[in-house]
Amino acid sequence: MDSCCSAPPPPDRSSAYRRVLWVALIVNAAMFGVEAIAGIAAGSVSLQADALDFFGDAANYALSLSVLSLALVWRARAALVKGLSMGVFGVWVLGAAAFNIIGGGTPHAITMGVVGFVALIANVGVALLLYRFREGDANMRSVWLCSRNDAIGNAAVMVAALGVFGTGTLWPDIAVAAVMAGLALSASVETVRAAAHELKTGVAAPRDAHGHAHDHG
């Protein structure tokens, strides 16, 4: 009963958060199209992985919007779905990296760098908008983690582009894809744990000094 009756965020905070989520949804959907095309054209697994991440985030923002005004139990269920999707993304990226190693093609560094820079600007803007909501419930926390990881991933793609350009090999692209997979798997574990705690107790998962969720039950 406590879970079902848990209050949603205050109306003023909820309205501001809803507006931010709409902006994030539009930006991520647009960047998915840009990076999907560029990643295939450039033969870059890190760009393709980032494009898939944009798609997943757009879907997650839409899911967050659909449960924003509902009780904590529904927001926690949405966070659980998002946490699991981040884990699937991480595993997919590792598989794609292994496939590219076998294929052995060298990605186009300039395309990687330019598109990675555009994506970085987009994600930093979204991350700044979401920053003040990062200490909310598991659903809010998962959205912030997605945005933060995206910005880190975009910066890493630019580093990979420089590495590919300097070495003429695919290994910097593979290395960055592996880092992105690690971030996704880490965020997946944290989000699933927080969501599980909220579903079990009906209250937001406690955070440590670093903002990480912990289930003491």
Q: What is the pLDDT of residues 68-121, one digit of tens each?
A: 666 767 777 777 887 888 788 888 888 878 887 887 678 889 999 999 899 999
For the record, the structure tokens of 39 come out as: 């990643």
Find residue 213's DSSP bridge partners. 207
H helix runs in the chain, sequence order: 2-5, 11-42, 45-67, 72-103, 109-130, 138-167, 171-201
User: Which domains are assigned to the chain?
Assistant: 2-201 (1.20.1510.10)
Running DSSP on this structure, what letter comes out for residue 207? B
Mean pLDDT of the chain: 77
HSE, CB side, 13 Å, CA atoms: give it for residue 215.
Answer: 16
Threshold 0.85, pTM exceeds = no
- Residue bearing tokens 């699991």: 84
177-201 mean pLDDT: 82
Flag whether pLDDT at 54 surpasses 90.
no
